[in-house]
Amino acid sequence: KDQMDGQKKTALLQNTIAAEFEQMRQWEKKYNSYLKTASGFASSLKACTHLYNDGVRIFISLCKLKKAISDNPQGIVAAMSMNNLYIETATELVTVFSLLRDAVAKGGKENMLTGAERSQTLWALNDQLSAFQKKLNLLYLSIRTYTMTDVWNNVTAGMLDRNNGEVARMAMNRWRRAATVR
């Protein structure tokens, strides 16, 4: 009888220890889940700071673009015929708009995002905004520097004993003079 009572006490103690270990495993799972969620939240927060940075850069580029247009109005037409930056910038803008439209919640259950999807969307948006800012900056530089003289020199490069290198050197010298004046 003493052995049976001892075995019952041992079994009861083992069951209690097993229950405590199971409780600890549950707490560990919850803690790991929290860490994953907090990490996703930190990634989303970091992506948002990058989005803010890109937004500020886009705003600065737009201000520079406005100033370039007012300083060199012929640059609008000249830049249009010298490169494809208008089309490329518009394409980037449409891409950013499409991503934003898809990311904005329309309400209801059909548009719920997980933390990972939210972070992925924010990082994709960050990449698209960065590309858009670069295109805007190139467009600003193009409008600021190109003139109708560049267009004329480009069109007449082979006709007036000028090659492309000479046209580029003339444009570079004029751009350097314009940069020192501004």
- Torsional sign, CA 3, 4, 8, 14: positive
In tens, the pLDDT along 36-61 reads 665 566 666 677 777 888 888 888 88
Q: Are 140 and 110 in contact (CB under 8 A)?
A: no
Low-confidence ranges of the chain (pLDDT < 70): 34-45, 103-116, 154, 157-164, 167, 178, 181-182
At 159 the pLDDT is 63
The torsion angles phi and psi of 77, rounded to 5 degrees, stand at -75, -40
At 162 the pLDDT is 66
Q: Are 112 and 38 in contact (CB under 8 A)?
A: no
- 91: amino acid identity, one letter: T
CA–CA separation, 27 and 29 (whole Å): 5
The torsion angles phi and psi of 103, rounded to 5 degrees, stand at -85, -25
Q: Are 50 and 120 in contact (CB under 8 A)?
A: no
The residue extents of the domains of the chain are 54-146
In tens, the pLDDT along 5-24 reads 889 999 988 898 899 989 88
Q: Are 86 and 139 in contact (CB under 8 A)?
A: yes
Residues ≥6 apart with Cβ < 8 Å to 167: 150, 153, 154, 157
At 112 the pLDDT is 61
